Structure 1
Amino acid sequence: MEHAAHDFSILGLFMQADLVVKSIMVGLLLASIWCWAIIANRMAAYAKARKDMAAFDRAFASGQSLDALRNSYRAAPTSGLSAVLVAGMDEWDKSHAQNAATPEGLKARLEIALDLAVSEESAKLEKRLGFLASTGSAGPFIGLFGTVWGIMNAFTAIATAENTSLAVVAPGIAEALLATAIGLLAAIPAVIGYNKLSAEAGVISARFEGFADRLVALLSRQLDAGKAA
């Protein structure tokens, strides 16, 4: 009869757990949902970034001047390669407006401006990835804490009932282990998602850095040609 008093379904185990274990389970479930939301959001953002880079590459290869290309992107909010271009061309214009376009000084200022632009765009790509890393590393331990707490309660129940039969031990142990299972449910996709997304963000950031170096070379070559003329 004692077996029938316990519901060993997942919902039943959750309802039979004490407040601390329930709080841990709910927190881990919410963290898991938020992790999936971040993964979906970042995947969509990276797909858009790749699409924007492909469109920018086509425009860059069309033969129009850097000024014309910059002006075509200035009207709309810029991101990715277009933001790097706008930052570089703005610094180029400011240097010429102040008659400060010496080759060494201009190159140094361009590199600083472009490094800042690349850092800002890279930070946008890595937005919220820290939560995935935290969940992936802390989730199992938080679930383990819930398991330890539940097992303590189970042993307390054994001592109170003065009965070590499986019917007395099993419900508390099952409730405790559910907390670890939910911790792993949150941590595993968080770790996999973080590794994949951070690697993809690194690839896109490398494209930004490569374009910034190329832009410095193009503008430096343009300045040298102007000085020679």
Structure 2
Amino acid sequence: MACCHALALFFFQDDATAVAPATTGGSALLEMVHNSGPVAFAVLITLLLASVFSWTIMLSKWSSFRRAQAQSTRFIRAFRKSGRLSEIAALSDQFKPSPLVPVFMEINDEYQRQTGGRGMPRNPVALERAAQIASSEALTNMEQRMTWLATIAAVAPFIGLLGTVMGIIDAFHGLGTAGAATLRAVAPGISEALITTAAGLVVAIPAVVGYNQLTARLREFGARMDDFGREFLNLIENAAMASAPPPVEEETYRRSR
């Protein structure tokens, strides 16, 4: 029994000396990063920059969407309370972050060009096209840098996979150089492979979640702009019909009585 114990200690002597510094020298993660090769280090730096960029996009988008949501609610409230287009147009500058403001301004400008602000519009289809163009332009402005977020979410795992492959190659190279299957020979390559794989997932997962959530918010804004455009067009038509003079037949009938 003592002979077996001595043999085991002799066989795992190299492994024990390799593992001991990692467990007593502080954080194992920081030590693995510090001992990474040039390829793994370049992969980690690239993933770090991609993570910072993706979080910058997500935080800025969430902040701008929150302001747009609040201003849209205020603008809808003011729009429905006011009875004149001139009053709403004068107040619209206060709600600039809202994507509904450019939709209102585009429809109002087209209506003013057609009628001067009174009566039934001569070309209602042009008003609808103006609303669609304004909605499309506002949504395009809100979608800026979203493609970068999607690209980071898709590419980050593959960048981490590159570090994984290179780490495995280093592990096999160390194994061949050492000539024996010891932990000291394969540990550096395996640690590089694991840490780059984990880094790629850490970067990609938040980017995927953020992209999906922001895309859902963009769809909500697009639907809200379309609904507001239809509501505004209905308001213009109803106001124009209410202020229109009665038909000739009805006026003649009233006079005959």
> 1:100-111 alignment to 2 at 5 Å?
103=122, 106-111=123-128
One-letter amino acid of the counterpart of residue 130, structure 2: A
The structure whose Rg is larger is: 2
Match of 2:169 among 152, 165, 169: 152
Could you tell me the TM-score, scaled by structure 2's length? 0.78
Match of 2:46 among 27, 31, 34: 27
In the alignment, what sits opposite 1:41? 60
Contact 1:148 1:176 in 2 (8 A): yes
Match of 2:138 among 109, 114, 121: 121
* C-alpha separation in 2, matches of 1:74 and 1:32: 36
Could you tell me the TM-score, scaled by structure 1's length? 0.87
Q: Which runs of 5+ in 1 are unaligned?
A: none
* C-alpha separation in 1, matches of 2:37 and 2:94: 58
After superposing the two structures, state which structure 1 stretch, 23-32 or 2-11, moved more.
2-11
Q: Which runs of 5+ in 2 are unaligned?
A: 1-16, 247-257
In the alignment, what sits opposite 1:54? 73
Residue 11 of structure 1 and its aligned partner are, at CA, apart by 2.3
RMSD: 2.3
* CA displacement, residues 137-175 of structure 1 (integer Å, 9 cap, x when unaligned): 221111111100111122112112212212211221011
* CA displacement, residues 61-87 of structure 1 (integer Å, 9 cap, x when unaligned): 213312220122258856411221111
Match of 2:224 among 196, 199, 207: 207
Residue 23 of structure 1 and its aligned partner are, at CA, apart by 1.2
User: Percent same amino acid at aligned positions?
Assistant: 33
* CA displacement, residues 81-114 of structure 1 (integer Å, 9 cap, x when unaligned): 12211111011112236xxx764xx222111211
Contact 1:79 1:121 in 2 (8 A): no
Q: Say which structure, 1 or 2, has more relative contact order (CA 8 Å, 6+ apart).
A: 1
* C-alpha separation in 1, matches of 2:243 and 2:30: 75
Match of 2:88 among 57, 64, 69: 69
* C-alpha separation in 1, matches of 2:115 and 2:121: 9
In the alignment, what sits opposite 1:171? 188
